[in-house]
Amino acid sequence: MNEALAERMPVATGTDTETFAALYERTFPRVYAYVASLLRDRAAAEDVTAQAFERAYRRRTSYRARRGSREAWLFGIARNAALDELRRRKRRARLEADPEDTGALAADDHVELAVRREAVRAAMSGLDGRERDLLALKFSAGLSNSEIATVLGLSETAAGTRLHRTLTKLRKACND
């Protein structure tokens, strides 16, 4: 298995190679965060993230650099795996708990943060699935607009425009 993980990812130019293990180590936290934001269920997110990396490993020879970055390719696979899970469930699951705060805040700050989180949660519930997916790709996965465009099959301009409109809609809902 270690030899298989150490295989180089194929690249069209032949000059830039990365092992699958290195890709996994570099992208796992972002892929998991993205999948968790879509599924809203930590246990299911762990399973789907594992499935996504398994699919990516099996399809590693299908990666083509001219079609986008390794991250965009990987997040496309993760997105499809998460959507498969959502279709299987036929419903959206809720997160079991809020992500743990890593910064220690004063008691007053906790109250303000809780109010902000609830406002964002309420605003997010008003977005459709495509808008939530777009925000998850941008902020949970940390992808660039170009990479988001590749994952969603859009032009970079269309991805940027949709992201801007979604953020404007989210800000307005949070302020209401």
What does the pLDDT read at residue 109? 65
Query: In the CATH hierarchy, which fold is given to the domain comprising 1-95?
Result: Rna Polymerase Sigma Factor; Chain: A (1.10.1740)
Residue 82: its pLDDT value, please?
A: 92
Instruction: Name the least confident of 91-100, 103-112, 132-141, 149-158.
Output: 91-100
Q: Which two tokens stand for residue 156?
A: 């970079």
Task: Please write the tens of the pLDDT for every residue from 7-65.
Answer: 555 433 344 567 889 999 999 999 999 999 888 889 999 999 999 999 999 998 888 88
Number of other residues whose CB lies within 10 A of the CB of residue 128: 9
Please write the tens of the pLDDT for every residue from 66-100. 888 899 999 999 999 999 898 888 644 444 445 55
Q: Where are the domains of the chain?
A: 1-95, 104-176
Of the options 1.10.3210.10, 3.40.1180.10, 1.10.287.180, 1.10.10.10, the CATH number for the domain spanning 104-176: 1.10.10.10
Q: What is the pLDDT of residue 93?
A: 44
If one compares 146 and 111, the residue with the highest pLDDT of the two is 146
Contacts of 73-78 with C-beta under 8 Å, sequence gap 24+, read 73/150, 74/23, 74/27, 74/31, 75/31, 75/34, 75/137, 75/141, 75/143, 75/147, 75/151, 76/150, 76/151, 77/52, 78/31, 78/34, 78/35, 78/48, 78/49, 78/52
* pTM of full prediction above 0.85: no
CB atoms < 10 A from the CB of 100, how many? 5
